[in-house]
Amino acid sequence: MSEHDDPYDRSGQFLDLMIATWWEHNGATVAEALKDLPADAGPVVDAGAGGGRGTGLIARTLPDAHVLAVEPSLLLRSVLLARVFEDPDLRTRVSVDGDDLLAARLPDRIGGLVAANLIGHLGPHERDRLWGTWLPAWHRGRSRCSTCPRRSNRSMWRAPG
């Protein structure tokens, strides 16, 4: 696990409560972007998984997919692990990585990436590193990336393929 300066060390105890409304308003859009991903495309990464609300949504939307939840904050990861542990289905399909996104251990291929409310935490150089690291692992053709989704009928960003 890499060293991480946790921006949530003071507010993290409230984040899962505060983010609930965001997921209520945007969860259907994220699910819509994910629903056509093939189960054999590789795990879907929940980047900056927080307390696991997105992790659960990914698992419900893609009932055969494995989910890799990446969350460097010890406080938020504690909530995530508790949420995963209390659900027998999530226990069998979710792996949790405590590194920050740029240091996380990637599988050879990923099916998709959900980065809800995360990209804004990264500076321009970190974003360049992110895409340079993660794009080669993306399953080409039908992968999606979701960050702060907008309500629309348009598909969200697609990995080039």
- Per-residue model confidence as pLDDT tens for the chain (161 residues): 555 677 777 777 777 877 788 889 889 988 998 888 887 888 999 998 999 999 999 999 999 999 999 999 999 999 999 999 999 999 999 999 999 888 888 888 888 888 887 777 778 888 888 877 777 777 665 555 555 445 444 444 444 44
Contacts of 98 (CB under 8 A, 6+ apart): 1, 71, 72, 74, 77
What gap in Å lies between CA 54 and CA 23, rounded to an integer? 8
Question: What are the sequence ranges of the domains in the chain?
Answer: 12-146
What gap in Å lies between CA 44 and CA 145, rounded to an integer? 10
Q: In what order do the strands lie in the sheet with 44-47?
A: 94-97, 67-70, 44-47, 112-114, 145-146
AA identity, residue 132: G
* pLDDT value at residue 90: 96
CATH of domain 12-146: 3.40.50.150
pTM over 0.85: no
Q: What are the b/e assignments for 35-55, b being 16+ CB within 10 Å? A: eebeeebbbbbbbbbbbbbbb
AA identity, residue 60: R
CA 33, 89, 100, 45 dihedral sign is negative
